[in-house]
Structure 1
Amino acid sequence: MFLGEFIHSLDSKGRLTIPAKFRDQLAAGLVITRNPVERCLLVIPQARWMEMAEKISALPLTDPRSALLRRAIFSAAEDLKPDRQGRILISQRLRDYAQIESDILVAGLHTFVELWQPSLWEEKVLQPLDSGNIDGELFAALNV
């Protein structure tokens, strides 16, 4: 399970040190790709990736939205295995997509991880929280 927010800096080669809390879950391998909805990157454990890839592949070939999703996810996907220091190389192409330069926000989202440029995280996640965009009714529906 991936939980928490962490700020890390990429090294001079574009490598991210995965937060220690997440390393065991990603040690067997991961896939990093674009998030087609937001300007961030998805980091998905290999086993979870296979489940998601099957679902995407099962979408109708003739549906233009399915084709766009398939292209956005698969064409940018890179399968990686962390090195002995728990680092992964994030390609320049993916860093450009997510507007990541040196600092990177690593957000655990239960079954996967998102990588954000910190000011975009502030704009897309923290500011809407401050604005009350999640109302009590939605949270109450969880019955917690």
Structure 2
Amino acid sequence: MAIYHGKFIHAIDHKGRISLPARFRKDGKTKKFMLFRGMENCLLLFTAPDWDRMVSERSDLLTIESEAHRNYQHFLGAYTSEVELDGQGRITIPPHLLEAGGLKREAVIVGAIKWIEIWDPEEHQRFEEEVSFKEVAEKVFRTVQEMRKERG
């Protein structure tokens, strides 16, 4: 699994193409990605194998009888597209995902360790102003400690 880190600002051309940072393409083997609408008003990009693994793990737990499960799968399916790196290291963001992400002429690309986030610059700034890293980190570490205690 690749580990993504860093924050970059890249242009989006009139065809919806955006270049991925070179460090996110360094293995040279990964060409296919899955792009979908995230929950924080951004787009998320996973390698195709990581996407398949994530979806398989969750799909086994979802049922057609649950309205929430059906709605989740509806939105996940409707707002997911397979994208491929071209010869210049760009992906093409489909129009419906450009709209869903509020993307226009440029984007902030963030390496979020296991995935890549693509943000409208203003939305990303709002997110970073509203979310306290200290509070999030403390909550995550508490949760991890609780999980370790439960597992013994």
TM-score, reference length from structure 1: 0.86
**Letter of the 2:9 counterpart:** I
Name stretches of at least 5 consecutive residues in structure 2 with no aligned partner.
Answer: 146-152
Name stretches of at least 5 consecutive residues in structure 1 with no aligned partner.
Answer: none
CA 1:139–1:64: 2 relative to 1, 3 Å: closer
**Letter of the 1:138 counterpart:** K
Q: How many residues are matched?
A: 140
Supply the RMSD in Å over aligned alpha carbons: 2.2
In 2, distance between residues paired with 1:10 and 1:135? 31
In 2, distance between residues paired with 1:87 and 1:118? 19
CA 1:69–1:24: 2 relative to 1, 3 Å: farther
Q: Which of 50, 53, 68 is equivalent to 2:52?
A: 50
Identity score, percent: 24
Report if the CA contact (8 A) 2:103-2:119 is conserved: yes
Does 2:110 correspond to 1:107? yes
Q: Which consecutive aligned stretches of 4+ in structure 1 deviate over 4 angstroms post-superposition?
A: 139-143
Secondary structure of the equivalent of 1:134?
Answer: helix
Which is higher, the Rg of structure 1 or of structure 2?
2
Report if the CA contact (8 A) 1:56-1:70 is conserved: no
Measured against aligned partners, the alpha-carbon deviations of 1:76-126 in whole angstroms (never above 9, x if no partner) come to: 211121001000100111011111101101111111111110111111123
**Letter of the 1:5 counterpart:** K
Alignment of 1:45-84 (within 5 A): 45-58=47-60, 59-84=62-87
How many Å apart are 1:53 and its aligned residue? Answer: 1.6
In 1, distance between residues paired with 2:66 and 2:103? 32
